[in-house]
Each structure stands twice: as structure tokens, then as C-alpha cells.
Chain A
Amino acid sequence: SQQGEEDPQALSIQEGENATMNCSYKTSINNLQWYRQNSGRGLVHLILIRSNEREKHSGRLRVTLDTSKKSSSLLITASRAADTASYFCATEGNSGYSTLTFGKGTMLLVSP
């Protein structure tokens, strides 16, 4: 079963605008990760936030994590056309071996 659920399913913005995607999950986690997938390609790891962290930055990316609400958000600032892709959150549980459970993704379209 899917652990994460991204919201919205699709997002269309203009270049230069900020894009915010949200992810909710159901069970306790060790960490939460965000991935990008360009059409027809493999997934690329963007950023990882541990369960004891609340916010993390990487370049134009900002991720927040609220474990009490079991939710995370990914903010992409000053979007570019090259940011057009699908974005997935994935959670790693805190029991057993390390495996990722993915949400269904948000499709982001950035228009020039």
C-alpha cells in the first residue's frame, strides 16, 4: 500500500514562481526523501530529511517535516522550465531493513 500521498497531483506555474508540494504519510518513519523524475527517465534523489529534523535546505529546495502531523512539504523557489518533472516523496520506516515507500507523485509543469 502507498505510504505517502502527494498533494496536489498536478501543478502548473510560470517560470520564476515558487512551487510547493505536500506529502502526507501514515506510519512512523526514520527519514523522508524527495525524488524527481523527468519524463521517461529514472528517479533522482533530491533531498533527505531525518525524523528529528524540521527543515532542510539544498540550493533552491526547502523541505519541512512535521512528524506530529505526518506531513512534509517541498518548496522549489524561483522555478525554471527545467524543473518540469514529477516529484515523489518516499519514506523509510524505522523498523526492519531500509526500504522506501513512495507516494503517487506530483506532476509539476513550469512554463516559460
Chain B
Amino acid sequence: GQNIDQPTEMTATEGAIVQINCTYQTSGFNGLFWYQQHAGEAPTFLSYNVLDGLEEKGRFSSFLSRSKGYSYLLLKELQMKDSASYLCAVRGAGNKLTFGGGTRVLVKP
């Protein structure tokens, strides 16, 4: 089976940086995804890591260490609109994408 852990909630100030950690245990690994989800809305794709290292996309970066079963999503220059849940998801054996419970990020002025 798969187990994905991420913090439940984080608070940060507008303009600051926040790092959301995700640890996973999986039978088989075929990639890790990060999604953003505003309340009541559809998740939207942010990033995809399949090899170790850092992937940068504008204000968002994602890091993966397969040997440690660890990833993080880094949000820079936080804006109020970044207040949302951030979902870590792992694609394991059988091509199934399993989501963590999500981290709710609250950005304060």
C-alpha cells in the first residue's frame, strides 16, 4: 500500500516563503505530483517530479529525494491568492495516483 504524510495546516505572511513537506512510503514509485486546490474547487496541477532534484516553475519549486521518500513544495513571494490546500500525490505500482490529506496554507497580510 501507500502512505503519504504532509502537515495539516501552515500559516505564513504575504511576501514570505513557505515550504510544505511530504513524506511517502510506497510499493513502487512512478512519480510525485503537487496540486493546488481552493476550497470547493478542482485540484490544479502544479508540478511533477520523477527524478531526484529540484524543479522550478516561477514562484513554485518542488524537490524530490527518492531514497528518502521525501518531497517538498516551496512557495516564494507569497500572495493572498496562494491561500489554498496543497496536495502531494504519488503514483505507485499499478499506475494509481494516491493523494495525501493536503496541507491548508493560510496567507496573512
Q: Do A and B come from one complex?
A: no
Interface residues of B (CB under 8 A from A): none
Interface residues of A (CB under 8 A from B): none
